[in-house]
Structure 1
Amino acid sequence: MTIEKAKPNDDQILTEITKKSKAYWGYSKEQIENWSQFLTVSKEYIETKSVYNLIVEDQIIGYYSFFHESENTIKLDNLFVLPDFIGKGFGKVLMNDFLIRLKDQSVHKVILNSEPNAEEFYSKLGFVKVGQIETSIKDRYMPIMELLIENYKNE
C-alpha cells in the first residue's frame, strides 16, 4: 500500500472512484448524473490542488484532495474510497496521511463539507459539525465540519 501524488491523467479513475463511492450510499444513477459536475475530477483540478492517491496492489482504490482556504485553514475537498474498500480502515489511512502532510505547515484547522452518511466517520476522528448546507435533494443537508489539528484522534 502506498500513497502518492496524483498525476493529471488520473482524472478519469478519480472521477470513477468519486461517483462509485457516492453511489455506495444509495443514490440513484440519475442523482449521480445530476451531480456529475461536482463529482468530476479534472486534469486542471489535479494540477492546481493537492491530490493524493491510495494504491493497493497497483490499483488506485481511493484518494483525497485539499487546498488552502486561508493561511491557517485547509479545506479537505475530497476523501473517497472505492465501495469494496469502504469500512476496512482505508479512509483512516488516507486521513492520517493527509494530516501528516500538514504537520510542517502553519495550519491550525481543517474544514470540510461532509457527505451526510460520512458524518459519523469524521466525528470519530475529532471533527465537529459547525453548520450545514442545503443540497439539491429536499431535506438533505451536508454537514460543515471542522477539526482543530490538536484535537485529531488517531485511534
Structure 2
Amino acid sequence: MEIKEASTNDNEVLTEITKKSKAYWGYSEEQILKWSDNLTISKDYIENNFVFKLVNNNEIVGYYSFIIKEEKNIILDNLFILPEYIGKGFGKYLMIDFLNRMKNKNFEKITLDAEPNAENFYIKIGFKKIGEFETSIKDRFMPIMEMNL
C-alpha cells in the first residue's frame, strides 16, 4: 500500500470511489444522483487542491483531500474509500498519513464536515464535534468537527 499525490487523470476513479463510498451508508441511487455535483471530483479540483490517493495492488482504493482555509487552518474536504475496504483500517491509514503531513507545518486547526455515519471514526482519531447543520435530507445533520494541532 502506498499513498501518493493524485493526478488530474485520477478524477473519474476518485469520483467513483466517492459515490460508492457514500452509497455504502444506505443512501438511495436517487439521493446519490441528487448529490452528484458535490460528489464529483473534477480535474480542476485535483489541480487546485491537495489530493492524495491510496493505491493497493495497483488499484486506487481511497483518497483524501484538503484545503488550506486560512494561514493556520485546514479543511479536510474528503476522505473516501471503496466499500469493501471500510472497517479494515484503510481509513485510519489515510488519516495517519494526512495528520503526518500536517505536522511541523504551522497549522493550528483542522475542521471537517463529517458524514453522520462516520462521526465516531473521526472521534476515535481525536476530532471533537463543535456543531452541526441540517442537510438536504430532512432530519439528517452533518457534524462539524475540529482537531487542534
What is the Cα deviation at residue 120 of structure 1? 0.4
Quote the sequence identity (%).
Answer: 60
Runs of at least 4 residues of structure 1 off by over 4 A?
none
Q: Which residue of structure 2 lines up, in the alignment, with residue 66 of structure 1?
A: 66
Distance in 2 (CA, whole Å) between partners of 1:70 and 1:118 is 25
Distance in 1 (CA, whole Å) between partners of 2:146 and 2:103 is 17
Q: Which residue of structure 2 lines up, in the alignment, with residue 78 of structure 1?
A: 78
Q: Which residue of structure 2 lines up, in the alignment, with residue 153 of structure 1?
A: none
Distance in 1 (CA, whole Å) between partners of 2:125 and 2:104 is 20
Distance in 2 (CA, whole Å) between partners of 1:133 and 1:21 is 21
Q: Which residue of structure 2 lines up, in the alignment, with residue 110 of structure 1?
A: 110
Distance in 1 (CA, whole Å) between partners of 2:61 and 2:108 is 29
Letter in 2 for 1:99: L
Distance in 2 (CA, whole Å) between partners of 1:57 and 1:136 is 37
Paired residues in the alignment total 149
Q: Which residue of structure 2 lines up, in the alignment, with residue 37 of structure 1?
A: 37
Letter in 2 for 1:57: N
Q: Which runs of 5+ in 2 are unaligned?
A: none
Name the TM-score, length of structure 1 as normaliser.
0.95
Q: Which runs of 5+ in 1 are unaligned?
A: 150-155
Distance in 2 (CA, whole Å) between partners of 1:119 and 1:56 is 25
1:138-153 matched pairs, under 5 angstroms? 138-149=138-149
What is the Cα deviation at residue 69 of structure 1? 1.0
What is the Cα deviation at residue 133 of structure 1? 1.4
